[in-house]
Amino acid sequence: MVGYYRSLTTGPAEDKKYCALTQFEPTAARRAFPCWDEPSLKATFAISLVSRTDTVNLSNMPAYSEEPCDPSEQFDHLFQLPAPEEDDDGDDAGFAWKITRFQTTPRMSTYLAAYANGEFQHLESAFCSPLSGRTVPIRIYTTPKNLPHAGFALELTARVLPLYERIFDIEYPLPKLDTLVVDDFDVLAMENWGLITGRASGYLLADPSMLRLRKEIVALQSHEVAHMWFGNITTMSWWTYLYLNEGFATLVGEVIISDKIYPEWQLDAEFVNEHVNRAFALDSGLSTHPVEVVCRDANKINQIFDGLSYSKAASVLRMLSSFVGEDKFLKGVSLYLKKRLYGNSTTGDLWKGVEEATGNKVSEIMEEWISKPGFPVVKVQETDGGLILSQNRFLLVGTDSEETTWTIPLHILSVDATGNVTTDHEVVLREHEQFIALKTTQPFKINAGTTGYYRVLYSPERLKAIGAEAAKGTSAFSVADRVGLIHDAIALAKADLMKVGDALALVYTLRAEKEYHVWAAIASNLESLLSIWWENQRIVELLNAFRRALFSPIVARLGYQSDAGESSNDSLMRTCAITQALDAGDNEVANELKGRFAHFLATSDEAQIPSELVTAIYTAAVRYGGRPEYDAVKALCDRPKNPAYQVAAMQSLCAAEDLELAKDTFGFILSGARDQDIMYFIGGLAQNIKTRRPAARFFLDNFDEMHERFKDGFSMAHLLQVSLSVLSAEDDRDNLVTFFKDKDTSKFELPLSQVLDSIEGNSACVERSTENLLAWLEDWSQ
């Protein structure tokens, strides 16, 4: 799925039809046409496509002419055309051909060139530029079967484009913006200038009640539209500065712009869950890399499209925005873009723009966050009159031989005797250790809003006091604060910097929490502990009992059906609670969901399967059912109602605890699954503790085939991580080192190192913390 490739547009029971499209980022344009395939060597592109007349041609720019042609006369010296066919009367049916010529693009990098051909249909809208008054057409192209579900993505595109223009005071320069949605795509989407391309499951919304999918579509398309400014009109000078594209698209697209449309989603707190924590996880090992990373060959370039270039970069930029103020930050970013319009940029250009807007020498603070690997943990020691704060690099295992220090904007939240909350944005930790004057008799928290890219370690007594404040219905701590507290506590326990029992005590203190994002943080962290201790049966039993104690009461309160006018918070929390209670073995929840699927099988009536619960219901049917239920979900996978339901079915097939059924899933991976869907299957099987080791063995047994299929795209790195990073036994790491010793790992050296770090960290947790975890859980269960 790289270069110019074809995509199957029909299901398994239909006659095969294909479309063709490009995916050039980062270095695949050279596979389609001769070029200097580097981001700083920009050019204009005048593209023409020859195709059959009954198909649609698309490219970055609008077509200025389309006319019949006879390619046998004009292009025989370039390629061999299909032999003519005869119709039923014996006449030459042949093909009717046309040539479509597109307007010349502005100067742009080769990786942004794009074109496609297929039997596409489209929906159309437009937006009016708030800067010029120009009306710009917007279209979503896809196959006829998918077209009814593309409206939401189209509507969203029309809403976000004017916001980008207003905020950055730069007009979208092209005469149109199309989005092409296809069934086979290596990544979720690609920001080709004027022709965004993406995967059907990421863009199509069949049911407006699917709130999680709506949120994913908003994040995805707003991210891609952000690239029209960050990457397309102003492009990094080399892949070393990839974060200037991806970090900004993540922060601006998924948080700043999207929050202006959906403020009720509390996207800043979601960012802590989805991006800050994702970055921390990758950045906690010695195999991490700086945000700004030197890349000298194509194999290395592909590997840095990871959570550090996206999520860490966005987290560090968010920290800068919080430090100088969002309005000044965005003004500085606007200045940065304007000075490099249609050109290329480096980190220094960004600092100059923000410094001009703020008057602050931000490069002195921010340079090390971009150029150094890892991140700090700030230790808080209380003393007379204030705090002694010290910093060290956070590592799950190993030691920091360089004794790295960072210049850390602290953002200290404090509550006075009258209950007033203040946040000090001026305090900066510049040394390894520093005294801060602060009243400690009232509640306080370092890293207000979890805006800083660092963890905070408190004493057990202070953490308990902070937990008590966080648990209040009128807490001084924001949702993002509470989310950050949970993530910090569990991560610090994994690193043996605090007891895991103290971290779980904090979680239990928050059991009356009403905010979804806090519960999402609790859910993901408990899942991570279960994933580390998955081979300790007693700990698994106790952790699942703990999860049921937390989530089952929420299910009882919210039920299984949404109410008219229900808040997005309650809707998301219901799905989270039901999923967690089911996974933790709540029999009442399992029976309810199984009964709903049984009713569907008996009657074909889907009324009892709400769209938001389809994955949970399918999962309950497969996990607790037998061959009939498995086959029924497999049939739904082969003939899905829509792409979202197909993803739900694929994930649910992996929940089978009967190894005979799991064998069918393993077999389907190689015989029938689309390339883009293999990760759903292998990842799902690896998450199921009954099939985790078989999944790892399957991946390694079929490694050569997998490598051949995915070596040129981004999927290989993801497959490595989802199938192997969940292992936690002492000898797992050694076995993998031996396995890959004689393999060519040049295309996945970095993700492999990250997998080995993850396994080493899991194993270290088991060795260091099993006794404390078991003791706390046993005591809690009494």
Known catalytic residues are 224
636's tokens: 């739904």
246 is annotated as contributing to ligand binding = yes
Q: What are phi and psi of 134, to 5 degrees?
A: -70, 140
Residue 507 and residue 688: Cα distance in Å, rounded?
A: 24
172's tokens: 């979208």
Cα 704–chain centre separation: 27
85: Cβ–Cβ under 8 A, 6 or more apart, which residues?
92, 93, 94
Query: Residue 615, Cβ neighbours under 10 Å: how many?
Result: 23
Place of tokens 């560090």: 316
Contact 421, 413 (CB under 8 A): yes
CB-count burial class (<10 Å; 0-12, 13-18, 19+) for 173: middle
Residue 673 and residue 719: Cα distance in Å, rounded?
A: 14
Query: Residue 397, Cβ neighbours under 10 Å: how many?
Result: 18
Smallest Cα–Cα separation from 180: which of 102, 243, 268, 115? 115
604: Cβ–Cβ under 8 A, 6 or more apart, which residues?
none
Place of tokens 């799902």: 684
Residue 429 and residue 378: Cα distance in Å, rounded?
A: 9
Question: SS3 breakdown of the chain: % helix, strand, coil, rounded to 5?
Answer: 50, 15, 35
Helices 627-638, 614-624: inter-axial angle, 10-degree rounding: 140
Cα 61–chain centre separation: 29
Contact 219, 254 (CB under 8 A): yes
Residue 81 and residue 97: Cα distance in Å, rounded?
A: 11
Contact 245, 236 (CB under 8 A): yes
487 is annotated as contributing to ligand binding = no
Query: Residue 416, Cβ neighbours under 10 Å: how many?
Result: 11
Residue 246 and residue 312: Cα distance in Å, rounded?
A: 10
Contact 487, 523 (CB under 8 A): no
What's the alpha-carbon Rg for the chain, to the nearest Å?
27
Cis before 26? omega within 30: yes
Contact 136, 147 (CB under 8 A): no
Residue 579 and residue 573: Cα distance in Å, rounded?
A: 10
Alpha helices in 584-714 (DSSP H): 587-603, 614-624, 627-638, 643-653, 659-671, 678-687, 692-701, 703-710
Is the Cα torsion angle 690, 695, 698, 700 positive or negative in sign? Answer: negative
Classified as helix, coil or strand, 19 is: strand
305: Cβ–Cβ under 8 A, 6 or more apart, which residues?
26, 242, 246, 714
Residue 480 and residue 255: Cα distance in Å, rounded?
A: 13
Contact 254, 223 (CB under 8 A): yes
Smallest Cα–Cα separation from 735: which of 708, 697, 709? 697
Distance, first Cα to last Cα, the chain:
55
Residue 144 and residue 19: Cα distance in Å, rounded?
A: 12
Residue 500 and residue 765: Cα distance in Å, rounded?
A: 10
Q: Which residues are annotated as a binding site for Zn(2+)?
A: 223, 227, 246
Q: Which residues are annotated as a binding site?
A: 223, 227, 246
